A and B are shown apart, each in its own frame.
Chain A
Amino acid sequence: MANGASIIIGLVVVVIACVAGWFFAPKGETQTIWRSSLILSFASCYLMWAITFLAQWHPLIVPRRGGLREFAVDE
């Protein structure tokens, strides 16, 4: 779970969601608004998540912390 392949899996999921958003958008006057908003939202949310995931994929620095108690360390 949640390794490098997640990026691709996430992309596939989002593309499917976008396609679904395109076809299942409510008909009528607001269809364009639904389609555009759904697809843009999916795309931006994916972008944000993917960037965050990528930034932590191969970390160049590691967390350093003082003042931890014993139980918090072992958790």
Chain B
Amino acid sequence: MAPAQDTMFRSADMSLVQLYVAKEIGREVVNALGELGQVQFRDLNSDVTAFQRTFTQEIRRLDNVERQLRYFHTQMEKAGINLRKIDLDVDTLAAPSASEIDELSDRSQSLEQRVSSLNDSYETLKKREVELIEWRCVLREAGQFFDRAHGNVEEIRASTEDDDAPLLQDIEQHATGQNGDAERSFSVMNIGFVAGVIPRDRVAAFERILWRTLRGNLYMNQSEIQEELIDPTNNEPIKKNVFLIFAHGKELIAKIRKISESLGADLYSVDENSDLRRDQIHEVNTRLGDLGSVLKNTKTTLDAELTQIAQSLAAWMVLVKKEKAAYQTLNLFSYDQARKTLIAEAWCPTNSLPAIKATLHDVNNQAGLSVPSIINEIRTNKTPPTYQKTNRFTEGFQTIINAYGTAKYQEVNPGLPTIVTFPFLFAVMFGDFGHGFLMVVAAVAMIYWEKKLKKVRDELFVMAFYGRYIMLMMGIFSMYTGLIYNDVFSKSLSLFPSAWKWVKPEGWVEGQTLVAQLNPDTPGYRYPFGLDWMWHGTENDLLFSNSYKMKLSILMGWAHMTYSLCLSYINARHFKTPIDIWGNFVPGMIFFQSIFGYLVFTIVYKWVVDWNAIGESPPGLLNMLIYMFLSPGTIEEPLYRGQGPIQVFLVLLAVIQVPVLLFLKPLYLRWEHNRARAKGYRGLGETSRVSALDGDDDDSNTLDGRNSLASDGEGVAMITQDIGGDEEHEEFEFSEVMIHQVIHTIEFCLNCVSHTASYLRLWALSLAHQQLSVVLWTMTLANGLSTTGPLGVFMIVVTFYMWFFLTIAVLVVMEGTSAMLHSLRLHWVEAMSKHFMGDGIPFEPFSFKQMLEEDEAAADIS
């Protein structure tokens, strides 16, 4: 029998397969399967630590390559070079061959050395340049000072001999002093000096310390360096001052040197002879020029190198990531040393088996290996992972369900009806044609520019973008419910003639309250689609719409819950557990319908009866439901004839279901268990487990479908198959089953009540939404429209923008989010509690595509 096509209705059929692959092509096989993305490998070495696994060495090497690539990336960012991004959807980089990886690793090794040596020399040169610039500044500043000072040596001399005289008094006034003495040096006067450069923020401390240690026996001259100096170690600009300190005696000078060096100043030698100084400046300038050209060359070479790397860095990163993932997967395999064979166990969709086989075959052919790779389906009592195939459209809806829990393998997937029910229940709360239209526009825009917007990384936007198809459906249904509620931005549409007509009494004046009646010209005519627009803006508008929406909520909730409950029937049918039908589904359904199904019936019945025509007063349904339980049989306001006995019957029917729900399933299970025991059967899992541990039971091996491999290799296969296989079977315990069933019964019965009430949120949210949009209209645009004259023009513009943006921000975004959360809750709690088992394990195939999508670092390069 060909397996049925995989649908979204339930998980795809899964198979556990065993792969026997020659070690030489293990890497290629894993790469090919990673591209296919349909196989989930099981860890066969869970008792081995990460360091002891077969391919740890390779992974380490790839880690190193990855680190080198990251180093290039940071260097590029530092140099401001953009790397060429790759589009992972377009460029499907084929898995690299082993030699390509070797080449890549060698290449990145040598590139790393080259880049780092270039970097080092660049940094050294840069440092040298800064030093030279500083020296030049010192020379310039000191030179200026000396030129000024030489003009008035005499005065200085006089002042040094006179203790009271301040140093360098009135230099400015005597700028044009005796030039004849200019050549007389300070050394004659036994004055030494220290020149250097110090960071500006340390100047104050420097001065203070000098002053204290030298007790004021110094003269310090300093000036700020205007140009910004770059600290080569961290590329940050730093501001510095040039200082020139004069003092008596060698010891003091030595002290000053020490202090300045300890405070991080750089000292430079300056000659006091102006000719020598000129030569020095000249030399410094030449050296700076040379250095500049060398620096430029180094920088160009480095940039060229990096630019070249930038061309292919993204691709390399992807390759290395793939390669690493492949080896990590290979580490999950068990390795048979003796026969150089890798043995793997994996889950895969049964329908993908042919594709997997073909892939293996191709790899084998390409490698030209004589030993074939063997793929072998094994029967197992392990629970397969749940795999719900999704596409762009269904992905979002399935995520809603998966966020709550993973469906049990092969149970009905609630994701399928959610495609409609989620947006529809949302729309019941969000019903407004205009707001729905805005939402559709947003969703359509996101779908139209899907490719471009996929690259946007803003977190909030990514969330909205992920749910673009949900938004589309929500918008469409909101437009529909908006038409039903007859709300367009809180205004109404008059598409059809109303069924009502205002009655004008005698002597009516404009402004007095009017009462409508059903139009006598068109008897029997009712507004054909949605709410009659005549209700809009009336005094008792809310009275009517509240009653209508409340009943609508109950009816919708009833329909939704009945539908969900029916899914539990399908589950029981599929898992071949008839006791779940007779012990859970049937009594549950009868209980629910005899109370709430009856309520729904009375609601519809009350609508259908023309109470005015038969001249009776309509009964209140809420009281009817309450007294149905408080005093069964007594009817104060009859809805129909024979109501009393029918209600008594329904209450009895519901009450009888409680013991059925409580006891039928546990008792049946116990009976079945005891019968099996009495006949001498034991659980299947118990037997197979024992034999697997013994490891020599050939009969059970044939059962496992591995007879084709009957050789001395059985041992390995046995062991690999049994890993992690001993948690599946459970002993039958009556008390546990009973407790479980009691909880289920209590929960179910109470939840019937509370969940029905919970659907009233549909009414509450829809009322809130409608009222809020009315308020927004009256507070903004209505004011603008009622203003006349030139001010009116201005007001309309202003209030329109206010109204429009508040509509989007508050009514569409905020209210939309809240309605979405409520709809989410109705699905997770009210609907899914009726059928969802949800103890499945998600299927996580080994797929390069998925791996790259989830990788944060990969996001930078694509």
- Whether chains A and B associate is yes
Contacts of B559 in A (CB 8 A): 44, 47
B 388-419 to A, binary, CB cutoff 8 A, 1 in contact else 0: 01010110000000000000000000001101
Contact of B526 among A2, A49, A51 (CB under 8 A): A2
Q: A54-B604, A56-B526 are in contact. Are A32 and B514 (CB under 8 A)?
A: no
Contacts of A56 in B (CB 8 A): 499, 526-527, 531-532
Contact of B484 among A2, A3, A48, A64 (CB under 8 A): A48
Contacts of B166 in A (CB 8 A): none
B601 at the interface (CB under 8 A from A): no
Contacts of A68 in B (CB 8 A): 502, 510-511, 514
Contacts of A2 in B (CB 8 A): 496, 525-528
B 505-528 to A, binary, CB cutoff 8 A, 1 in contact else 0: 000001111111110000011111
How many CB-defined contacts (below 8 Å) exist between A and B?
Answer: 148
B780 at the interface (CB under 8 A from A): no
A36 near B420: Cβ-Cβ < 8 Å = yes
A64 near B419: Cβ-Cβ < 8 Å = no
A42 to B529, CA, bound (A): 15
A36 to B8, CA, bound (A): 10
A26 at the interface (CB under 8 A from B): no
Contacts of B681 in A (CB 8 A): none
B517 near A62: Cβ-Cβ < 8 Å = yes
| Closest Cβ neighbor of B502 among chain A residues | A73
A1-57, CB < 8 A from B: 1-4, 6, 29-33, 36-37, 40-41, 44-45, 47-49, 51-57
A32 near B8: Cβ-Cβ < 8 Å = yes
| Closest Cβ neighbor of A58 among chain B residues | B610
B551 at the interface (CB under 8 A from A): yes
Contacts of B547 in A (CB 8 A): 55
A30 to B6, CA, bound (A): 10
A60 to B551, CA, bound (A): 14
Contact of B538 among A49, A51, A58, A64 (CB under 8 A): A64
What's the tally of chain A residues with a CB closer than 8 Å to chain B? Answer: 40
A63 near B534: Cβ-Cβ < 8 Å = yes
Contacts of B649 in A (CB 8 A): none
Contact of A47 among B477, B516, B555 (CB under 8 A): B555
Contacts of B613 in A (CB 8 A): 58
Q: A44-B424, A55-B607, A57-B607 are in contact. Are A1 and B538 (CB under 8 A)?
A: no
A30 near B391: Cβ-Cβ < 8 Å = yes
Contacts of B541 in A (CB 8 A): 63
Interface size of B as a range: 35 or more
Contact of A63 among B394, B500, B525 (CB under 8 A): B500
Contacts of B513 in A (CB 8 A): 64-66
A1 near B528: Cβ-Cβ < 8 Å = yes
| Closest Cβ neighbor of B512 among chain A residues | A66
Contacts of A64 in B (CB 8 A): 513-516, 538-540
B763-800, CB < 8 A from A: none
Contacts of A30 in B (CB 8 A): 391
Rounded to whole Å, the gap between the CB of B92 and the closest CB of chain A is 22
Contact of B510 among A44, A58, A69 (CB under 8 A): A69
B481 at the interface (CB under 8 A from A): yes
A70 to B105, CA, bound (A): 89
A45 to B517, CA, bound (A): 29
B514 near A48: Cβ-Cβ < 8 Å = no
A55 to B486, CA, bound (A): 14
B 299-327 to A, binary, CB cutoff 8 A, 1 in contact else 0: 00000000000000000000000000000
Q: A32-B9, A67-B511 are in contact. Are A58 and B481 (CB under 8 A)?
A: no
A70 to B524, CA, bound (A): 27
B 413-435 to A, binary, CB cutoff 8 A, 1 in contact else 0: 00011011100100010000000
A48 near B604: Cβ-Cβ < 8 Å = no
| Closest Cβ neighbor of B552 among chain A residues | A51
A52 near B607: Cβ-Cβ < 8 Å = no
Q: List 5 A-B contacts (CB under 8 A).
A: A40-B424, A51-B552, A57-B608, A62-B516, A66-B513
The residues of B with any CB-CB pair to A shorter than 8 Å are 5-9, 389, 391, 393-394, 416-417, 419-421, 424, 428, 477, 480-481, 484, 496, 499-500, 502, 504, 510-518, 524-532, 534-535, 537-541, 543-544, 547-548, 551-552, 555-556, 559, 604, 607-613, 618
